Structure formats: structure tokens, C-alpha cells
Amino acid sequence: MSAHLKILNRINPNLIWYLYAEKCKKLFNESKLILSFDCDTEEDIVVVWDVHSRLLDMGITPVYAVPGELLKKGEKIYRKIHETGAEFINHGGREHTYFDTANNRHASCFFYDQQPLGIVEQDIIQGHKTLQDVLGITATCWRTPHFGTFQKSEHLIFLYSILKEMNYKFSTSTSPEMAYRYGPIYKHDSIFEMPVTGIFSEPLNIMDTWGYFEAHDRFRAPDDYVKTSQSLAKFSSCHPIFINIYGDPSHIYDKPEFFQAMKILVQASENMNYTQLLGMIDENLRLL
């Protein structure tokens, strides 16, 4: 963690947003919003269509990151979602959560930082092939499973080398800190990386649905998600920034606060997907 950012975060987190806005200004004239869903459990399959169609009605088309094994299990639903024009990105092949019956909840597994690199490579390839088989698409965007634990420079160097070999163009697999250091989109070994967005009042922490709606030990409430979205929307309506937030459908399908928050955000920023975003700012990216 950069010492400079840590100090800024302590003194005044707003300063980090101004720093971010300065970097965004070089690429954007107006704020852009991408909402991506990691669909890591079978529960997502049950609720994802309902969540997707409600968001479509609000003018938001989410991007989907579904591990290959789950893409196969929910083949019909995900195909239907793909047909509405939603972008699907590679999120690995194997499932990376399991149901912990002792605690009666889902738990994470298959962390890339704990695997031999050959297994990581195989998983990236398996995810890629499954997207070809199930949806007939050749993915060019990647999200690392549990990316928070795969942030060391040796991890990222390895990851980008594999993605480059597979002709990937972009990845959205780094934490918010990287956005404040290098910008909303930065180039690493010919791959464009787009870090996820932080919480407005705690910019170094990821604004995900887990921390507000799902974690059993969470200290944030669904109402706080609305509040942080309001602050983010207010800032983004004055300063063109890129908002790259993500969540899991099963965390929010029955939470009105999530949909309220998305309504607030989409009023202040234009919704798009990763391919559209990179296409739109292609000229500016050439300068990176």
C-alpha cells in the first residue's frame, strides 16, 4: 500500500477522489458506469434473470463474470441474458465457492495465490473455452476469482503474460488503490487494467455488495450502500470519473436499497460495458 495514499486516506478521503478525478479527466468528458456481477454460486442462477431484467428497465446492462462450471449449470439463463446484449467476461473455469454446511453459508475456495501457476493458467484457459462452448464468444476481458488475494506484482506479471498470450485486451482484477496510483484504465504488458471502485468515504476499500448486504460479520448496512452511492453520484456529476462497481446477484435480488442505489448512479453517469468503454476512448488510450 502506498504510504502517500494511506496518509491522504487518514487526513481527508475526499482528496483521493480529487486525485482520481484528475487522472480520469485525461480519458473522459463525462462519468461512465459499469456494473459487473460475479456469479459465484448456484443461487445466482435462480435470481439472476429477475435482477437482470429489473436493471435493464432502469437503463443498466450489467456485465457478467461467471466461472465456467457455473456457466454450464445455468446455461439456459445465461444464454438468455447474453441475448439481451450483456457482455460476459472470463472469470475462470472452476467454481471458487462452496457451501459450508457447518455454518450454513457459502465460503470461498480455490484462491489463485494458493495454486501452482500451471493450475492458474489451466483455469484461465478452461474459463475461456467454456465461454466459447456455451455462449459462442471469444472473451477478451478477464476478472480474477477472489482478485483481492492475487494483487502482488509477481501475480499480476504472471496473469498479464498469460492473458497476452491468449490475445486478451483487458482485465478488471485490481483493487481501487491502483486506480488512484495509475488511473482508471492503465496499461500493463499490452493489457488494459481497470481497477474496481472504492467506497466514497473509505476509498481504499472496495464498494462491493458483500460488505453491505451479505457478509455475516458486516458492519455496513444496506442503507449505507445508498448513502455511499449518493456521495459517489454527487461527485461524479461534477467530475467526470469512471465508476466500476461489482456485486453478486444473490446478495441483492431482494434488497430494494441496491436498486435504489443503481438508479441514483445511472442518473449521474452513462452506463456501458467494458468493450464499449474501451472502444469509445480508443484514441485517448493510444496515448497511455
Applying CB under 5 A, which residues contact Zn ion?
38, 40, 145
Rounded Cα distance between 253 and 48, Å, is 8
Residue 17 sits at φ, ψ, to 5 deg, of -70, -35
Q: What is the DSSP string of 242-269?
A: EEEEEE-HHHHTT-HHHHHHHHHHHHHS
* Residue 143 φ/ψ region, left for φ over 0, alpha for ψ in the -120 to 50 degree band, beta for the rest: beta
Q: Looking at residue 66, what DSSP letter applies?
A: E
Residue closer to Zn ion, measured from CB, 196 or 268: 196
Q: Helix (H, G, I), strand (E, B), or coil: what is residue 271?
A: strand
Q: Smallest distance from the beta carbon of 91 to Zn ion, in angstroms?
A: 6
CA distances (Å), origin 237, targets 13, 98, 121, 264, 265: 18, 40, 41, 11, 9
Q: Smallest distance from the beta carbon of 135 to Zn ion, in angstroms?
A: 18
Residue closer to Zn ion, measured from CB, 38 or 177: 38
Q: Smallest distance from the beta carbon of 38 to Zn ion, in angstroms?
A: 4
The angle that helices 256-268 and 42-57 make with each other, rounded to 10 degrees, is 40
Residue closer to Zn ion, measured from CB, 58 or 109: 109
Residue closer to Zn ion, measured from CB, 46 or 58: 46
Residue closer to Zn ion, measured from CB, 151 or 260: 151
Residue closer to Zn ion, measured from CB, 8 or 134: 134
Rounded Cα distance between 54 and 262, Å, is 11
Q: Smallest distance from the beta carbon of 79 to Zn ion, in angstroms?
A: 20
Residue partners of 109: CB distance under 8 A and separation at least 6: 95, 96, 97, 98
Q: Smallest distance from the beta carbon of 123 to Zn ion, in angstroms?
A: 12
The three cell numbers locating residue 159? 496473469
Q: Is 63 in contact with 119 (CB distance < 8 Å)?
A: no
Q: Smallest distance from the beta carbon of 205 to Zn ion, in angstroms?
A: 18
Q: Smallest distance from the beta carbon of 5 to Zn ion, in angstroms?
A: 26
Q: Looking at residue 74, what DSSP letter applies?
A: T
Residue closer to Zn ion, measured from CB, 41 or 140: 41
